[in-house]
Structure 1
Amino acid sequence: MSNGLAGARRCARRAAVFIPLRRSRAVMKNAQRFRVAAVAAAAVATLGLSGCAGSSESADEGTSAGPVTLEYWSWATNVDQVVEGWNQEHPDIQVKVVEAAGADDMVAKLLASVRAGEGPDMAQAEFQKLPSLVVSDVALDLSTYADQFSGEYSKGTMSLVTVGDGVFAVPQDVAPMVFMYRRDLFEQYGLQVPTTWDEYAALAKQVKEVAPTAFLGGYPDDASTFAAYTQPLGATWWSTGGESWNVGIDGPESQRVAKFWQPLVEDGLVDTTHFFTPEWGTKMNDGTLLSWTVGTWGPGAAISVAPDTAGAWAIAPMPSWDGESQVGLMGGSSVMVTKNSDHPQEAVEFLTWLNTSSAGTAGMIEKGGLFPASTLGQEALAEQPVPEIVSGQDDFWEVALTAAKDTAPVTWGPNVQVAFDTWGDAIKQASAARTSYLDVLTATQDAVVADLEKSGFSVD
């Protein structure tokens, strides 16, 4: 992964990539997990060039004349088995898979390794965590190579790996939201699947009338769910403008969603149990919860908490706010090339194969159980068996793939965890105290802005 030119190459690349989102590197020592350091444009040019005097790059930098070995950090299930197929067909570009960390710990592990002058050539990163790796100078800008893979993805999907003017990863899997519901109990109680959120609110009331101990579903006490609700309305929680970050968490779209959910909670029409807790699992299994709005990973995950309901569920399109076709995203990941790599071109060649080719995507589906981000990969899903929990739904893949075709564009910021933690804590307190959810949005907005400024970012 490294050779005598490694330091000069990394230094030259840093000088070439413009990330105008940071005022100072001085606060690096105070950065928390997701308050990571970045490089100001002037600092990059000055420090980068002064440390690399006399070095140069050729137009085809990163291409090796002989066999290379690329290290790939991933938590994807059985990805090593998929990579075996690549290694057999590409003796000059071998890939070594390392399970270095899971999704929650990958950022911290990468930052530590890079600061030690080590680290992999490629690493998996959740979409919402990618910006923190960009501004901390870990992810390489792949704009030069993007034409090799960008055409295989929707515009909304490519927005997930775009920060400013750069493309910093290859999308791997996505999770468009769907409405997952107990088909058997809907039939038993004479309920109709809601197509709008107004219908959802009316149905929540109807459920309490026909089944007093049950709930239509739960409220969004986690920010990933709440954010996904706002995305079809055009909400932009983070965006970049010039040399600054813009934060719009408490914008009108989010306010509309908050105003929708608060009366449902206060009137006792929706459940307030956090998902994937033991209590929630019991309610999913015993018929207390009749639906779950979730990413397309939900049906695969639900069987572990509600095994007694196998075959009793189905999915439908998400309710709309104003008849819009776009849906929000609840999860997904990408694979970036790190600035430590001396072979970015080979790394992109491999990642393009893994995530956009017939062989690569088939392997990730069949061995890893992923919902591919690429168009080709999603088309291949139609041939797969449906998840056990929705085994009676013949049009499962049709519904899921239709949702994936029109996802709302999303830009995440460098301190997503601050927003998620603030929202999760404050919404629970507001629900218990019956205080305004709009105040929760304001608190989340203020916390994110304050954190960005404290970490040295410019915020408009």
Structure 2
Amino acid sequence: MQKRPWIIAGLSSIALLCATTVPAFAAEIPEPHYPSDNQKVTITWWTWTANADKVIAAFNQKYPNIKVLHPLIGAGAAEYNKLTTAIKAGTGAPDVVQIEYQYLPKFIDTNGLLNIAPYVKQYESSFQPWTWQQSSRGDAVYAIPEDIGPLAMFYRTSVFQKYHLPMPKTWAQFAADAKQLHKEAPSEYLTYFPVTDGGLITGLLWQSGAQLFQYTSNGWKIDLNSPKAKQVMNYWGNLVKEGVIPATNDGTPAFQSDLGSGKYAVMLNGAWAPAYSIEPYVRPNTNDWHAADIPQWSSTGPFVDGNNGGSTNAVTTQSKHPDAAALFAAWINTSQAGELLDVTDIGHGGRGQVPANKYGTQLPQFNAPNPSLDGQNPAPVFIKASKAVNTSFQWSPWTDYVYNQMTIEFTKAAAGQETWDQALDNLQHSVVVFAESMGYKVVSNGAQADKSGPASSFWSEVNSPGLYVVVVLALLTGCTVIIRRSKTYS
């Protein structure tokens, strides 16, 4: 994932997702042609995916001479910090590494990821177009898509039945349900607001139609304090202020204990949440979760959604066996055996994911009762959600910094130290200043604020070592990017 044009195009949006259609149900998926590879090599795979050993074992049935090691590195931010250090040091990086879409630009711009197009172009037709676009820059390809995370509402059926809560089709009804539940059961809450989870908050803003970042011919437009963004944040802020839901950190053991004990009746999250954020922590009396559509801001109009998470497998420039590494990344996400593991639930040896591979949703294992959701088949909910994601949304090159500033400002707002409007205004200001300090052209609120020099210097500045300031600032603030999949499996 190299060279600047992809920040405009591939980095820009989870694009074409709505235009992607899900093929008719079938028992098998077509496999691309794989090269023969008899070299005896050892490669390393950093991943937080479930049942990695089974994925490797399936690969070795086809390629027994390629040994794959998978040390337990940690998930999300823990892995990213180690990878950043290894790239900067020039040593210690794995051959293959799991990276979420929104973090690819950071590692591409530090020249840590290899252009694997010569090894993988033949696999492009296996994937939903937007996922391949997110992993590419022009003709260069820097990662193989793995899964996606369209938002859904996960709820406990027993709580809704006990308190006669209407299934919320709109956010207005959702707020009414929250007030009704907490009034009747003061120790319980409909849900929570995760002030430290920039990914989920971004997904909720995304679903509202807010355009946080847009690349224009004049530079980057940053609009973090738009009316839509303020509508969303004041909605949640008012529920927190009224005591109807708590503000919390959804990546801590305390939160996981609260989830398992039944404190919350709803989790709003990406489609990977049942396997990675619910099943590991529920108890026998709280294992009655189901999936439903995310509530809408309007009772009329088309169904719209946002996205949270989803990952890729990239090959690093430090790999001594890039052909084997690229083959591994491609095979586990395109082969029938790999896709079968991808969509099978964790308890039965799979990875419990919604695949980026456009054929994976045809498998019976995807269209089947899900043990993480009390036997419900969530496939219709997830497919509807994936087709409704707003494809005009764009990522910025500063995800680390944005998420950490969100944590700082939203924690203050939840504590009553500032209003939610002020929190967004502060966020807007800090991100604009940061982007300009990194040498980017910024167009904010219709007025260009360009301190980066001539346009020809724009992309060259992105390559500068200053990109590491993102990580340094994150460490100095004491903030961490939320780990959306907070349990590591092996």
Q: Aligned to 1:104, which of 72, 77, 89?
A: 77
Q: Which amino acid is the alignment partner of residue 297 of structure 2?
A: W
Structure 1 runs, 4 residues or longer, greater than 6 Å off: 63-66
**Shift, 1:192, TM fit:** 1.2
CA RMSD of aligned residues (A): 3.3
Matched, 1:266 2:248: no
Q: 1:266-311 deviations in whole A, cap 9, x for unaligned?
A: 2222222332445534543444322111222332332443314344
Distance 2:297 2:224 in 1: 18
Matched, 1:394 2:367: no
Distance 2:267 2:88 in 1: 41
Q: Aligned to 1:418, which of 387, 401, 407?
A: 401
Superposed, which structure 2 residues align to 1:142-221 within 5 Å? 142=116, 147-162=121-136, 167-221=141-195
Aligned to 1:354: 332
Q: Which amino acid is the alignment partner of residue 310 of structure 2?
A: G
Q: 1:107-165 deviations in whole A, cap 9, x for unaligned?
A: 33334334444434322112222110011111234556664333333344345435688
Q: Aligned to 1:297, which of 253, 263, 272?
A: 272
Distance 1:109 1:172 in 2: 21
Asked if 2 retains the 8 angstrom alpha-carbon contact of 1:124 and 1:333, the reply is: yes
Matched, 1:335 2:313: yes
Distance 1:72 1:458 in 2: 38
Asked if 2 retains the 8 angstrom alpha-carbon contact of 1:231 and 1:408, the reply is: yes
Q: Secondary structure at the match of 1:327?
A: coil
The structure with the larger Rg is 1
**Shift, 1:246, TM fit:** 4.0
Q: 1:57-102 deviations in whole A, cap 9, x for unaligned?
A: xxxxxx999736362422233324322333342367x253332632
Matched, 1:455 2:428: no
Q: 1:15-70 deviations in whole A, cap 9, x for unaligned?
A: xx455979xxxxxxxxxxxxxxxxxxxxxxxxxxxxxxxxxxxxxxxx99973636
Matched, 1:379 2:351: no
Go from structure 1 to structure 2 and tell me whether the alpha carbon gap of 1:199 and 1:278 turns closer, same or farther (over 3 Å shift): same
Uncovered stretches (5+) of structure 2, i.e. residues with no partner = 9-34, 444-490
Distance 1:223 1:70 in 2: 36
Asked if 1 retains the 8 angstrom alpha-carbon contact of 2:342 and 2:351, the reply is: yes
Distance 1:312 1:66 in 2: 48
Q: Which amino acid is the alignment partner of residue 126 of structure 2?
A: E
Distance 1:165 1:456 in 2: 26
Aligned to 1:443: 426
Aligned to 1:138: 112
Q: 1:202-230 deviations in whole A, cap 9, x for unaligned?
A: 22233244334432211241222211112
Asked if 1 retains the 8 angstrom alpha-carbon contact of 2:156 and 2:286, the reply is: no
* Worse overlay, 304-313 or 339-348: 339-348
* Worse overlay, 444-453 or 225-234: 444-453
Distance 1:167 1:248 in 2: 29
Distance 1:219 1:164 in 2: 38
Question: What fraction of aligned residue pairs are identical, expressed as a percent?
Answer: 27
Go from structure 1 to structure 2 and tell me whether the alpha carbon gap of 1:71 and 1:202 turns closer, same or farther (over 3 Å shift): same
**Shift, 1:355, TM fit:** 0.7
**Shift, 1:201, TM fit:** 1.9
Distance 1:111 1:319 in 2: 37
Q: Secondary structure at the match of 1:270?
A: coil
Distance 1:245 1:72 in 2: 37
Asked if 1 retains the 8 angstrom alpha-carbon contact of 2:306 and 2:390, the reply is: yes
Matched, 1:90 2:48: no
Matched, 1:81 2:57: no
Go from structure 1 to structure 2 and tell me whether the alpha carbon gap of 1:370 and 1:282 turns closer, same or farther (over 3 Å shift): closer
Q: How many aligned residue pairs are there?
A: 403
Distance 2:81 2:57 in 1: 28
Distance 1:122 1:287 in 2: 38
Q: Aligned to 1:71, which of 12, 35, 43?
A: 43
Distance 1:260 1:125 in 2: 31
* Worse overlay, 157-166 or 213-222: 157-166
Distance 2:190 2:37 in 1: 61
Superposed, which structure 2 residues align to 1:34-49 within 5 Å? none
Asked if 1 retains the 8 angstrom alpha-carbon contact of 2:152 and 2:268, the reply is: yes
Q: Which amino acid is the alignment partner of residue 235 of structure 1?
A: A
Asked if 2 retains the 8 angstrom alpha-carbon contact of 1:122 and 1:338, the reply is: yes
Uncovered stretches (5+) of structure 1, i.e. residues with no partner = 1-12, 23-62
**Shift, 1:425, TM fit:** 2.2
Aligned to 1:225: 200
Q: 1:371-428 deviations in whole A, cap 9, x for unaligned?
A: 022222233342555134x21x433333234323443345433331222121112212
Q: Aligned to 1:129, which of 103, 122, 143?
A: 103
Distance 1:252 1:71 in 2: 49
The alignment's TM-score, normalised by the length of structure 1, stands at 0.76
Q: Secondary structure at the match of 1:71?
A: strand
Aligned to 2:472: none
Asked if 2 retains the 8 angstrom alpha-carbon contact of 1:265 and 1:272, the reply is: yes
**Shift, 1:354, TM fit:** 1.0
Aligned to 1:37: none
Distance 2:230 2:251 in 1: 27
**Shift, 1:180, TM fit:** 1.2
Distance 1:365 1:170 in 2: 17
Matched, 1:316 2:292: yes
Go from structure 1 to structure 2 and tell me whether the alpha carbon gap of 1:66 and 1:280 turns closer, same or farther (over 3 Å shift): closer
Go from structure 1 to structure 2 and tell me whether the alpha carbon gap of 1:72 and 1:446 turns closer, same or farther (over 3 Å shift): farther
Distance 2:174 2:316 in 1: 44
Q: Which amino acid is the alignment partner of residue 186 of structure 1?
A: F
Asked if 1 retains the 8 angstrom alpha-carbon contact of 2:41 and 2:67, the reply is: yes
Q: Which amino acid is the alignment partner of residue 77 of structure 2?
A: D
Asked if 2 retains the 8 angstrom alpha-carbon contact of 1:173 and 1:370, the reply is: no
Q: Secondary structure at the match of 2:376?
A: coil
Q: 1:329-357 deviations in whole A, cap 9, x for unaligned?
A: 22221111223446655544432221122
Aligned to 1:44: none
